[in-house]
Amino acid sequence: MADSIKITSRSNVSICGNGNTTILKRMYDSTTAANPGVISLITATYCSIKDLQIYGGVADANIHMRSSSNNTITGNTFASSTVGIDIFSCNNNIISGNVVTDMVRALYIKHSSDYNVISSNIFNNSSYSGIELSDSSNNAISGNILKNCTRGIRLLGYSDDNTVSGNAVNGGYRGIVLAGSGSAILGNTLKNFPIGIILSYATNSVVTGNNCMKGTGATTDYTASQYTIHVVGSSNNLISSNQCMGKAVVIEGGASNTEINNKFA
């Protein structure tokens, strides 16, 4: 494959393969904004990318979406690129059932990308982040598996009112990082992180029903600078009914946080 596939200002276009037997591989590394993805959706709507195996170049995204809405990316396998799926100013898209391996960022959602659904994907071996939101709100991130991603799920500043629920995150440096306001972190399982969940200058958010454990879950598995749940400079948050194995919730700075019914064993 010499060049990228671009769908620009189109609707109802489908690119469908036959699973891992349909392989798209870029044979060079793009360094220009004109060729950001092996497949690019630009101002596209109601399109489908399904059942493909895609390899991008070192400086590329496998799929790049810009100003596109109501599209579906499902059942694909992505490997060995800089970004698996790059979403810029896109709303109401579904990203589901994909496997993304050996990226810097597996899924990067940014610049007012709102109301997207990210579900039942597998993200492996991301050197920077598995799922990362920047300036994006009202997204639903559920039922994903993340393994060996340095930062599992990151919700950065001005990413508000997102829901992160029922994800399994295993291995890395930080499991879930929450900034912004009004988000809900519900029923996730985080294993083998020096920091399971960190609220960093977050406000008006809920962290409940999560299970955080490093190693065997013994107190000796944690150093003074390691945490199950760490709340830093954050205010008006509810941290409740979490299973914190080996170290209790730690709150530093901020005001008016409520910490209740968390089990420390």
**Looking at residue 89, what is its pLDDT?**
98
Beta bridge partners of 203: 181, 235
Residue 154 shares a structural domain with residue 128:
no
Among the three residues 80, 100, 132, which one is the final residue of a domain in this structure? Answer: 132
Instruction: Let me know if residue 60 belongs to a domain.
Output: yes
Ordered DSSP codes for 24-46? EE-SS---STTS-EEEEEES-BS
Residue 112 shares a structural domain with residue 168:
no
**Looking at residue 4, what is its pLDDT?**
80
Whole domain around residue 28: which residue ranges? 1-132
Instruction: Let me know if residue 208 belongs to a domain.
Output: yes
Residue 6 shares a structural domain with residue 116:
yes
| Cα separations in angstroms, 155 against 41, 111, 121, 128, 246 | 24, 13, 17, 14, 25
Dist. CA 67–CA 63, nearest whole Å:
13
Quote the strand ranges of 21-98, DSSP E: 23-25, 37-42, 48-50, 53-55, 61-66, 72-74, 77-79, 83-88, 94-96
**Looking at residue 1, what is its pLDDT?**
43
Dist. CA 233–CA 41, nearest whole Å:
39
Residue 29 shares a structural domain with residue 115:
yes
**Looking at residue 182, what is its pLDDT?**
98
Domain count, the chain: 2
Among the three residues 87, 103, 132, which one is the final residue of a domain in this structure? Answer: 132
Q: What is the pTM of this model?
A: 0.95
For residue 62, the Cα-to-chain-centroid distance in whole angstroms is 16
Compute the residue count for the chain.
265
- Stretches where the chain sits below pLDDT 70 are 1-3, 27-35, 57-59
Residue 103 shares a structural domain with residue 173:
no
Instruction: Let me know if residue 107 belongs to a domain.
Output: yes
Residue 45 shares a structural domain with residue 118:
yes
Instruction: Let me know if residue 179 belongs to a domain.
Output: yes
Among the three residues 97, 132, 167, which one is the final residue of a domain in this structure? Answer: 132
Dist. CA 87–CA 192, nearest whole Å:
29
Instruction: Let me know if residue 142 belongs to a domain.
Output: no
pLDDT digits (tens, 9 = 90+) for 28-85: 665 555 557 889 999 999 999 999 999 876 667 899 999 999 999 999 999 878 899 9
